Amino acid sequence: MKKFLFVALVAVFAAFTACNDDDKEAQKYQVTVKITCDEAELSSMSSIKATAVSESGSVTTVDAQNGVAILKLVAGSYTISVVGDAGAYNYVGSTRCVVAEADVPNLKVSLIKSKPTGKIIFKEVYSTGVKSFYWTDGFYELFNNSDEVQYLDGIIMGIVQCGYGDVSSWADDEGNLPDYYPMGNHTVFFPGSGNEYPVQPGQSVVVATRAINHSARELGENDSVSPVDLSAADWEIFIPTSAQDTDNPDVPNLEVAYSQFGFDFMPAVSGQALILAKLPADSTMESFVANNALKPEGQYRAALCIPSEYVIDAVDIVYFNEDLKKSKTILDLDDSGYTYYSGSDDEWTDPMYCGKSLRRKCVGVSNGRAYFKDTNNSSDDFILGGQKPVVRRTFTSAD
Ligand SMILES: [Ca+2]
Ligand SMILES: [Ca+2]
């Protein structure tokens, strides 16, 4: 029954999308977004953009004038995110909106100051795996998007617990997320005492779940070729307590900060949010973990809960369930939008084992060096739906 409902819903969305493309007369309704924040802050922003992402993934972006953005949208459910550009900072906010065949005259979005533009950021991530049930070919490419040398030492990478389409069990009764991120599976980090592992401006490092040539694996009857060779990765995630994990001795290993469960580093193959955080200068990893491993009432087991204040980059890769429900797990100040994998280029289908990656948009190339979009709004910063993964993808111009 659930399967039938899912197929029917996809068919409805497909018809809906086709109708929009073909019929220019499709009825649109006016959504008036009223942006609230401090007057002085408002005047510090050079531009404010409002972006609506529909349930089927179509994106509409408009500029706001005098704190008001007017979107023209067909009936449906949307996530509206607003980003104000104030140079080193952005101001961000988001809300949900249902357009039910009527104008929405007064949708309020209040803005908060987001994190500064990231220095070390996710450039490309790949964790969907390929058929059949092969998921150890994941990789995470991190990039120095700044103009100064940055250090990997003490940078933590982790997977945020989600509700698999429903609201996270860590949210309160109103659905509000806590100001920390509960980590699932394994949380890993770069070793080093502070400045042992530099990354030059415009350079990236590739972290492999397993640093082998996945495209050379022997295929069974229903298997697909993995799109990636990770034998020359810069770093490898090796879980010493896992009987199944393998260690390429030529590729240095990240260390494990905290383990909950799992054979290896494994975000859900349908998508799960990722964060990068920086160990505070006055902590060791042992003391940080001891102070932040929490088991609030109602939780099945303890988790490493990383306070948002230490997060340096986050991408809210949402997990859709069969009824196309989804729920953000990242706070607006770290990522006011969301992105997702899709198994199909036309409309959303479950991406598990589809062999696609998510990558950030390139905003320009200067003297051969690429710069990537980082407005803390992954609906706008990433290519939605994904594409074929490329390790160390090169750019000659902006997207
Ligand atoms: Ca591994
Ligand atoms: Ca290794």
Give the model's pLDDT for residue 42. 80
**Mean confidence (pLDDT) of the chain:** 90
Q: What's the rounded Cα separation, in Å, for the pair 40 and 181?
A: 31
pLDDT higher than threshold 70 for residue 23: no
Residues 213 and 152 in one domain: yes
| Span from the CA of 297 to the centroid of ligand 1 (angstroms) | 32
143 and 38, same structural domain?
no
How far, in Å, is the centroid of ligand 2 from the Cα of 222? Answer: 29
Same domain for 173 and 91: no
The answer to whether 312 touches 374, Cβ cutoff 8 Å, is no
Would the pLDDT of 2 be above 50?
no
Contact 80, 52 (CB under 8 A): yes
Separation in Å, CA 286 to CA 247, 282, 291, 352: 24, 12, 9, 35
- What's the whole-number mean pLDDT along residues 281-302? 95
**Cα(254) to centroid of ligand 2, in Å?**
8
Is residue 387, in this structure, part of any structural domain at all?
A: no
Distance 327 CA to ligand 1 centre (A): 28
**pLDDT-derived band at 12, boundaries 50, 70, 90:** very low
Q: State the pTM of this model.
A: 0.82
Q: Flag whether pLDDT at 297 surpasses 60.
A: yes
pLDDT at residue 44 greater than cutoff 90: no
Q: 388 in a domain, yes or no? A: no
Q: What is the pLDDT of residue 88?
A: 66
Number of structural domains, the chain? 2
Q: Name residue, tokens 């990354």.
A: 199
Question: pLDDT tens for residues 343-390?
Answer: 998 888 899 999 999 999 999 998 899 999 998 899 989 999 999 999
* Statement to judge: residues 67 and 88 lie in one domain: yes
User: What pLDDT does 25 receive?
Assistant: 67
Q: Could you tell me the sign of the dihedral formed by the alpha carbons of 120, 43, 46, 315, in that order?
A: positive
Claim to verify: residue 23 and residue 39 sit in the same structural domain: yes
Predicted local distance difference test score (pLDDT) of residue 87: 73
Q: Looking at the CA of 234, name the nearest ligand.
A: 2
Does the residue 146 lie in any domain?
A: yes
Is 393 contained in some domain? Answer: no
The bound ligand whose nearest atom lies closest to the alpha carbon of 233 is 2
Q: Using pLDDT thresholds of 50, 70 and 90, give the confidence band for residue 291.
A: very high
Q: For 110-148, write each residue's pLDDT tens digit.
A: 988 887 777 999 999 999 999 999 999 999 999 999 999
When pLDDT is averaged across residues 227-255 and rounded to a whole number, the result is 97
Whole-number Å distance, alpha carbon 290 to ligand 1 midpoint, is 24
Residues spanned by the domain of 190: 120-381
**Residue 182's closest CA among 272, 109, 73?**
272
Q: How far is the CA of 39 from the centre of ligand 2 (A)?
A: 52
**Shared-domain flag, residues 94 and 161:** no
Strand-strand pairing, 253-259 and 235-237:
parallel
397 located within any domain: no
Where is average pLDDT lowest: 89-98, 109-118, 240-249, 363-372?
109-118
